[in-house]
């Protein structure tokens, strides 16, 4: 007597539960389609536009991220160094070069979830175009490590291992440009790991 309703309820639970879990997995697996890669850096130019694919829109809505206009901003992230090695907090890195033209840019370290990492108190957790010290050719060199460094330095937290760098270009012609592949991005080189 209860066999048929029980089987129907079990089938619906499996169908809806499996569908919801698969959808959440798909949203976490990608930020959308149409990624461009420039060295170690990756960006999704359509992520913040009306033309974004449904996965990108859902991902952005679920994360509660700020929606930029077409030419307002472009977010690049790097999970690997320029040689293809995964970024780990136990190693030291050097970011050198220049960013594409932008009125303002910001750089910070984030976890795999994209949320900014908190460095120890009194240490710089972010750097931007107004505070960076530049070379005579307008380039810069930023040290990224747990240990303090002279000059420009982005501190990593003392706990945790994997991280990503997030470079946001605000009010940049690159965001609305079709020539994104011609941009020169800063190089990210591994200096060493541990006491080596």
In degrees, rounded to 5, the angle at the alpha carbon of residue 67 between the alpha carbons of residues 66 and 73 is 95
Which two structure tokens, joined as six digits, stand for 154?
Answer: 């982005």
Which two structure tokens, joined as six digits, stand for 172?
Answer: 């940049």
CA gap 52, 28 in Å, rounded? 16
Supply the pLDDT for residue 89. 86
CA gap 35, 77 in Å, rounded? 11
Q: Do the strands 164-170 and 91-97 form a parallel or antiparallel pair, or are they unpaired?
A: unpaired
Supply the pLDDT for residue 32. 58
Supply the pLDDT for residue 109. 92
CB atoms near residue 99 (< 10 Å): 21
Supply the pLDDT for residue 196. 46
| Residue pair 97/185 in contact by the 8 Å Cβ criterion | yes
Q: Do the strands 36-38 and 41-43 form a parallel or antiparallel pair, or are they unpaired?
A: antiparallel
What is the edge-to-edge ordering of all strands in the sheet holding 104-110? 36-38, 41-43, 73-78, 164-170, 104-110, 126-128
* Residue range 59-78, pLDDT digits in tens: 666 666 666 666 677 888 88
Supply the pLDDT for residue 30. 61
Supply the pLDDT for residue 117. 86
Helix (H/G/I), strand (E/B), else coil: 37:
strand
Mean pLDDT by 10 residues, the chain (196 residues): 84 89 71 70 72 68 64 82 87 89 89 82 89 88 90 86 88 61 81 71
CA gap 193, 171 in Å, rounded? 36
Supply the pLDDT for residue 22. 81
């Amino acid at each position: 007597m209860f066999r048929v309703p029980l089987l129907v309820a079990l089938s619906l639970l499996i169908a809806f539960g499996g569908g919801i879990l698969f959808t959440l997995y798909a949203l976490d697996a990608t930020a959308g389609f149409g990624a461009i890669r420039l060295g170690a850096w990756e960006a999704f130019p359509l992520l913040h536009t009306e033309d974004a694919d449904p996965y990108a829109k859902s991902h952005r809505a679920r994360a509660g991220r700020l929606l930029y206009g077409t030419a307002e901003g472009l977010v690049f992230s790097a999970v690997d160094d320029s040689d293809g090695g995964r970024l780990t907090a136990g190693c030291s890195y050097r970011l050198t070069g220049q960013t594409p033209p932008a009125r303002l840019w910001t750089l910070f370290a984030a976890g795999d979830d994209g949320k900014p990492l908190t460095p120890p108190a009194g240490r710089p957790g972010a750097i931007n175009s107004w505070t960076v010290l530049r070379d005579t050719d307008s380039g810069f060199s930023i040290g990224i490590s747990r240990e303090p460094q002279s000059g420009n330095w982005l501190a990593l937290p003392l706990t945790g291992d994997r991280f990503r760098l997030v470079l946001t270009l605000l009010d940049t012609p690159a965001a609305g440009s079709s020539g994104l592949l011609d941009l020169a991005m800063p190089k990210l080189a591994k200096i060493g790991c541990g006491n080596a």
